[in-house]
Amino acid sequence: MQHEDINFIEEMDKDDDWLKSHLEEIVDRYAHRVVAILDQEIVEVGESIHDVQQKVAAHHPARVPLIFEVPSREEFTCLLSSTNTQS
């Protein structure tokens, strides 16, 4: 694996960890929207993945963000409870 690939994976892992640690507040603030995360912060918000991808391409052309469709609080709660019952 090349050095650039390792850095990319490490950055994506950091963004993924950041998303997990901020998930509840993101759900409360951005329900039913799409967010793009770079460097452990939300850099773009939109109504669709396509919308967010276009914004990221315009403002961060050399970067690949973590894009996440934010569920509603109710959907999030259902996801958590179904995950807990499957354990």
* Distance separating alpha carbons of residues 40 and 83, to the nearest angstrom: 25
Number of domains in the chain: 1
For residue 78, name the pLDDT band (cuts at 50, 70, 90).
confident
Average pLDDT over residues 77-82: 74
Of 60, 21, 61, nearest in space to 40 by CA: 21
pLDDT in the model for residue 1: 66
pLDDT digits (tens, 9 = 90+) for 12-63: 999 999 999 999 999 999 999 999 999 999 999 999 999 999 999 999 999 9
Q: Which amino acid is at 26?
A: I
* Distance separating alpha carbons of residues 18 and 16, to the nearest angstrom: 5
CA–chain centroid gap for 20, Å, is 9
Q: What residue numbers bound the domain in which 33 lies?
A: 3-85
Residue for token pair 């799409």: 34
